[in-house]
Amino acid sequence: MIRLKTGLPVLLALAALAASPGGADAKKKKRGKAGAPACGLAFLPLVEGAEWTYEHFVPPEVEIKPGSLHQNPPDVVKIKVLKVEDDGSKTRITVEESWRKVTVQNQLVCTDKSLQVPPTSFFFAGAPGGGVGIKLENLQVEGESFLPKRGVGESTYQELKALAVRTPGEGTGAEIPPARLEVERKMTVGGRQEVESAMGMHRATRVDVVVTARAALESTKDKPYNMPESGAAMWFASGVGVVRVESRLGYGWKLSEHKVAGAEE
C-alpha cells in the first residue's frame, strides 16, 4: 500500500491499532435518518448506504528512486456505510472498506463534541489499513479527532496506546510476541482550495495529517523502535467527504464515484 519502504513500519502500526467496536449497548438503538449525515457532519456525510470509490494516482512532484523497495498500492479503494446507530448519547457508524481481496469493517463514533476515527480507516490519514489476525487489548485514546461543531475548522492532536497481539497462521506453530504501540496524529487545518478528483473540480478544505509512532515488544518495552514519520494532505468537500489525498510516502487517491442511498443518479 505504501510506495516507499520507509512507510511500511508505520502502516503495520496503524493496521494493528484498530479501534475495537464498543460492546453491546443495553439501550435500544435506532437507525439514523436516511439522507441525514450522522451527527450533522457535512464535511464527511456518513449516511447509511453512502459509498465512495477512490482511484490511485501518483501525486505531482513525487519521485521514486530507482532500486528502492516499495509495494504498489491497490488501484481502487471502496468504502460503504453499512449502518448508523444512535443510542441518544453516541452515534456509531459501521463502515466497510475494501481493496484487492481485503475487506475490513471499522466503527466510527461521534457525539456532539467529537468524531473518533479508528487508525485502520481510510478517513484517519488517507490510506487503507487493517490488520489480519490482530487483536487489540487495553486501547487508550486521548485528545480529539474531528470536531463536529467546527467541521474541519480546527486543528487537533490525538494519542493512542494499545497492546497488539497477533494470531499466527493456522498450523505454522509460530509464536509472535505482543507489541506495545503508541501513535500520535496531528491534524492541521488549512484554507479552502480548488482541487481535482476523477469526478471534476471541488472547492474543498485542506487538512494536513502527520502521524508518528513507535513500537516495542513486551520483552523489550524499554527499547521502543521509532517509526518513520508519515502522513498526508486530505481535501474535504462539504456534502461529499474526502475528494483527494496526497501522501508524502508517494501515493495519492482521487474520488471517482460517490453514491448516496435514495439520491437520484
In tens digits, the chain (265 residues) has pLDDT values of: 333 333 333 444 444 333 333 333 433 344 434 467 888 888 999 999 999 999 999 888 766 555 444 567 889 999 999 999 988 889 999 999 999 888 889 999 988 788 888 888 899 889 887 444 455 677 687 887 877 666 677 788 888 787 777 665 566 666 667 778 888 889 999 989 999 999 999 999 999 999 888 888 867 777 787 877 888 999 999 999 999 999 877 889 999 999 987 654 4
∠ CA 204-2-253, rounded to 5°: 25
Q: CB of 34 within 8 A of CB of 121?
A: no
Map out the domains of the chain as residue ranges. 5-21+31-259
Q: pLDDT value at position 166?
A: 65
CATH number of the domain located at residue range(s) 5-21+31-259 in this protein: 2.40.360
Q: pLDDT value at position 48?
A: 93
Q: pLDDT value at position 65?
A: 55
Cα–Cα distances (Å) from 35 to 20, 31, 82, 116, in that order, read: 27, 12, 14, 21
Within 10 angstroms of residue 194's Cβ, the number of other Cβ atoms is 9
Whose cell is 453516541? That residue is 90
Question: H helices of the chain, where?
Answer: 8-16, 122-125
Q: Which of 265, 260, 264, 226 is nearest to 34 (CA)?
A: 260
Q: pLDDT value at position 263?
A: 56
DSSP state, residue 126: S
Pseudo-torsion of CA 67, 70, 75, 80, nearest 10°? -170
Q: pLDDT value at position 113?
A: 80
Q: CB of 8 within 8 A of CB of 2?
A: yes
Q: pLDDT value at position 172?
A: 60
> Residue 210 and residue 215: Cα distance in Å, rounded?
17
> Residue 251 and residue 66: Cα distance in Å, rounded?
16
What pTM was computed for the model? Answer: 0.77
